[in-house]
Copies of this chain bind each other. A is one copy, B any other.
Amino acid sequence: MPTLRFYHPIEVRYADIDAQGHLNNAKFLTFFEQARIQYLRHLGLFAQAQSFMDIGVILADVHLAFRAPVLWETAVRVGVATTRLGNKSMTVSQCLLDGATGQVMAEGEVVLVTYNYHTGQTIPLPESWRTAISQFEDLHS
């Protein structure tokens, strides 16, 4: 996995651990989601939002490969990188690392569709998003 330009640290909570003593599989999506929102915030794209109803992306597809069990003590860091900007969607590559060792414990890819939560319709990717993300990721369309 190449080095990404954005990582967000997440503290594993006792309540994230399941009866088998590992980070529960669904929590990986929670961690990915949290890191994506912090990524958008870091890029200034979440600044004018009045509420989460204004964020404007909806999850369309997710693929996730689990590489190693995550324990309570693991100092997790979640990486985020946009790899493709479409007309009405974006593809985001994510990974979950052991922050102490750098070991990749999970990696995956999500497709987000730009969406108006008030009307329930898909919308074109805003130009402000295209500009900010392209610059941050050094993407060329």
| Chain B residues near A15 (CB-CB < 8 A) | 18, 24, 26, 30, 33-34
A21 touches B52 (CB 8 A): yes
Interface residues of A in 93-132 (CB under 8 A from B): 117, 120
**Is A14 an interface residue, CB under 8 A from the partner?**
yes
Copies in the complex: 4
A19 touches B62 (CB 8 A): no
Binary contact readout A41-74 vs B (1 if CB under 8 angstroms, 0 otherwise): 0000000000111010011111111100100100
Main secondary structure on A side of the interface with B = mixed
**Is A140 an interface residue, CB under 8 A from the partner?**
no
Interface of A with B (CB < 8 Å)?
A: 10-11, 13-15, 17-21, 24-30, 33-34, 37, 51-53, 55, 58-66, 69, 72, 117, 120
* Bound: A28/B25 CA distance, A: 11
- Least Cβ–Cβ distance between A116 and chain B, in angstroms: 11
Contact of A60 with B66 at beta-carbon distance under 8 Å, contacts A10-B11, A13-B30, A29-B29 already known = yes
- Least Cβ–Cβ distance between A82 and chain B, in angstroms: 18
A52 touches B13 (CB 8 A): no
